[in-house]
Amino acid sequence: MCAAPGGKSAQLALAGAQVTALDRSRKRLDRVAENMKRLRFSVQCEVADAALWRKAKDFDIVLLDAPCTATGTIRRHPDVAWLKDPRDVDKLSATQDGLIDAAVQLVRDGGIILYCTCSLQPEEGPERIAAALQRHPNLARVPIKPGELFGLKELLTQEGDLRSLPSHLADLGGIDGFYAARLVKQG
């Protein structure tokens, strides 16, 4: 869900996954399709609003790369501070909730929802997951383990979500802010 520009779709395809890439922007999804063709990956690209798309369901995994304020990229894109308005957080949080609800409908019982954003705002990360767990009693968090992050336990929250900050890995030049949570839909 929200697949453009396609990096995560390419990683999934490289790992052997059968990928359906959804994005509402035809222009951006055309670029994804071109890149997948160039990389010789078989990825089905669908132009659609992921919050409304119901062409298929019962996916094993739904990766929701949610639209966000992108505040986690501010070290590389300082213009984010001037392009975003504090009201964007509320608007995007509502969009993120709708996309999470759609992901719940698309994933099979026992399937996984991976939610991620490049935002530092708690309203776009942990608060969205807490709200989703309240709205959907059939969802449960599946904590990420340090071994899944090559032992980088400083990137894990108490709940087991991934939270990177620009201050992390400072000896390597730092990294972008990023948030990810893994949920399972229970049957």
pLDDT 10s digits, 11-48: 999 999 999 999 999 999 999 999 999 999 999 999 99
Partners of 141 in beta bridges: 183
pTM exceeds 0.85 = yes
Residue-level pLDDT at 77: 84
pLDDT of residue 65: 97
CA angle at 140 for the pair 134 and 143, rounded to the nearest 5°: 125
pLDDT at 33 (0 to 100): 96
Averaged confidence pLDDT in the chain: 94
pLDDT above 90 for 163: yes
Q: What tokens were used for 157? A: 């929250």
Give me the residue spans of the domains in the chain: 1-53, 57-185
Q: Is 15 exposed, middle or buried (0-12, 13-18, 19+ CB in 10 A)?
A: exposed
Query: Measured between alpha carbons, how far is 154 from 146 in angstroms, rounded to an integer?
Result: 9
Predicted confidence (pLDDT) at residue 85 exceeds the cutoff of 90 = no
Q: Write the pLDDT tens digit of every residue in 87-119.
A: 899 999 999 999 999 999 999 999 999 999 999
| Rounded mean pLDDT, 59-78 | 92
Q: Is 116 a catalytic residue?
A: no
Q: Catalytic one among 2, 45, 68, 118?
A: 118
Supply the pLDDT for residue 142.
Answer: 98
CA distance 27 to 168: 34
Integer-rounded Cα Rg, in Å, for the chain is 16
Question: pLDDT-based confidence at 86, cuts 50/70/90?
Answer: confident
Peptide bond into 143 cis (omega under 30): no
pLDDT of 60 above 90: yes
Residue 152 DSSP class:
-
Backbone dihedral region for residue 32 (phi beyond 0: left; psi -120 to 50: alpha; all else: beta): alpha
Q: Which of 178, 176, 110, 102 is nearest to 138 (CA)?
A: 110
* Domain at 57-185: CATH architecture: 3-Layer(aba) Sandwich (3.40)
- What is the pLDDT averaged over residues 130-142? 98
Residue showing tokens 């336990």 = 153
